[in-house]
A = this chain, B = another copy of it.
Amino acid sequence: MSVSPPSAEHQAHLRGLLEAYMAKKGLRSTEQRRLIVNEFFKAPAHVTIEELLAQVRAIDPRIGYATVYRTLKLFAECGVAHERRFHDGVTRYEIAHEGEHHDHLICIECGSITEFEEPAIEKLQDEVAARYGFTVRSHKHELYGLCANCSARSG
Q: Which A residues contact B (CB, under 8 angstroms)?
A: 85, 89, 105, 107-108, 114, 116, 118, 120-121, 124-125, 128-129, 131-148, 151-152
Contacts and interface: CB of A to CB of B under 8 A. Distances in A.
Contacts of A152: 133
A30 to B, nearest CB: 30
Contacts of A138: 144-145
A77 to B, nearest CB: 17
Contacts of A128: 105, 116, 118, 121, 143
B132 A125 contact: no
A85 B99 CA distance: 28
Contacts of A135: 145-146, 151
Contacts of A134: 105, 107, 114, 143, 145-148, 151
A101 to B, nearest CB: 12
Q: How many copies does the complex hold?
A: 2
A144 B148 contact: no
A136 B106 CA distance: 9
Contact of A143 (B107, B108, B133, B139): B139
B116 A132 contact: yes
B105 A132 contact: yes
A143, A144, A148: residue with the most chain B Cβ atoms closer than 10 Å: A143
Contacts of A133: 147-148, 151-152
Given A120-B124, A121-B121, A124-B121, A137 B132 contact: no
Given A118-B128, A125-B121, A129-B145, A140 B140 contact: yes
